[in-house]
Structure 1
C-alpha cells in the first residue's frame, strides 16, 4: 500500500472523534431498539439479566454491520488492511500476547490488593450479567451470553478502536504510537460510565488501567500486523476468561472456583514459557517495525488536534 504524504492541521482530528461517537451511537441505537421492543413485546425478553445480554448482543450485531457497510467506506479506510495472516506470524503474535496478558492480569491483581488494603471496595460492574440457576438450566442462555461476551464485544470493539480509529488518526497525520495511545484512551473511556454507575470507584480504577494497558497492546499488535484478526482473537480470549468466571460465579461453588484458579495459574505459567520462546523467536527473525500507511511533513499543529480529539470523543 502506498504511503500517503500529509501536511494538514488539527481540524482533521474532528473526523476520528466523530467516528468514535458514531460507533457508540450505533451500538446505543441497537440497544435502545430492543429496550423499546421489550416494553411492547415483553415475552421476547423474559427477565432483566437475559434482557441485558440480548440488548447488548443485538446492538453489537447492528454496530458491526454498519461499520462494515457504511463507516469503513465512508471514511475511506477500506484499503488499510495490507497483511495476510501467516502461521509463523500468528504464533509469534499470540505467544507475545501470553506475556502481555499475564502482565495485565498481574497488574489487575496488584491494584485489587492495593485498593482493598486501603478499604476501597472493588465491586465488578458486570454483576448484571451473572446468571442464576434458572438461567443455567437453559443452554440457549449460555450460548447468548457467550456470543455477547466473547464474539460480539471482541469483533465490535476491535473494528471500532483498532481497524477504524487507528488508521483514521494516522491518515490525518498522527504517528502510529500516538494513534495507538489515542485509541486506547477511547477504548478505556467507553467503559467508565458503566464502571462508575454499576461498579464504583475501586472497579473503575482497576478496569480503566487494565483496559488501557490491554488497548495499548492490542493497538500495537494491529500496527505491527495490519490485520484486525489478531487483536480480535486476543480480545475474544480475554473475554472468554471473563465468561468462564461469570459462569462459575453463577454456579456458586467454591470448590469449582478453586479448581478454576489452579488451572488458570497453570495456564499462566505455560503462557509465560510460550511467550518467552515466541519473544526470542520474534527478535531473532523480526518483522518490520510496523506497517506505515501515512507520513506527515510537519507535526507542530497536531497537539491541539489530539487534545481536541480526546475532548470530543
Structure 2
C-alpha cells in the first residue's frame, strides 16, 4: 500500500520542483494543496484547490495522509506594505501552520515536515562561526520571528502528541525559474553591465533547488529525522564575487566586475536607504550542514557549478522565448 503525502504550497518555486520529483516516486500517492490550479500540473500527482491551505485541507485527505510537507507561508518581502508586518506573518506562518499541524495530529498523520528559514538563526555570521541547527535562535525581523514561533509551537505539539516534526531551514534557494535578486543578477550579467562587486570577500551559503528537494525527500521516511532540525545548503560557500563569476561563466557572459571596496559599497547603500541589500551582498551568512551528514547520511547530490549551469540554462531559454 502506498504512503499518502500532502504538500502545501505545491505550485510555488520549491513546491513545483518537489511535486515533479514525487511524481517519479511510485511508493507515494502525492496530493498537492494549492490556492489555485497550477498552470502546469504534474502528471502522476493530484491537486486539491482550497481557499486556505492551513485550515481547510480536506479532512478526507488528512485521514489517509502519512506525511505533510508544509511549504505554504507568507514569505519574506522586500517592500512590506502591511501596517503590522509581524501580526500578518503570525497570522499565516504561526496560526495557520499550527492549525494545520493540530488537524494533522488529530487525524493520525505520522510526520510533519516544516520548511522554515535560516532567518530563525539570524541575519549574519560576520565575525562568528556558521549557524548550526541546534544553537539558540536569534531572529531579528518579523518573518524570522514568525518562523521561530511556528517551530516552537510544532515542537510543543510533537511533545504532546504522536506527531513527528521535522524542521528544515534553507538558506537562499536558487535554481531553474528563480526570481527576485538572483534573477536580477543574471539579467545584469547577460547584458554585460559592469558591477561594483569585484572585491567582496564575504562567504554566503546557498542551496540549489534540487538539493533542497532531495533533503526534503530524505526527511520523509528517515527514522533519524524525527523531531530534528536541519540546515539546508549546498555545503560549498561562495563570496558574492565568486557567485557572480560562476554565474557569468554559466551564462557564457564573463562577469564585468569592478573592484570597489565593500566598505564603500556599504556606505553608499546605507545613505541610499539600502543597508539591508548591502548586507546581503557584502556580509557573510554561512550554515553548517554537518548534522545532515552525521544523522541522515545526506550529502548535497548536485555540485554548485552544475547547479549554476542548470539555473543559467533555464534563464537563457526563457530569454529566447
Please confirm whether the aligned pair reaches a TM-score higher than 0.5, indicating the same fold.
Answer: no
When the two structures are superposed, what TM-score results if normalisation uses the length of structure 2? 0.29
When the two structures are superposed, what TM-score results if normalisation uses the length of structure 1? 0.29
Higher strand share: 2
- Between 1 and 2, higher relative CO (CA 8 Å, sep ≥ 6) is seen in 1
Higher helix share: 1
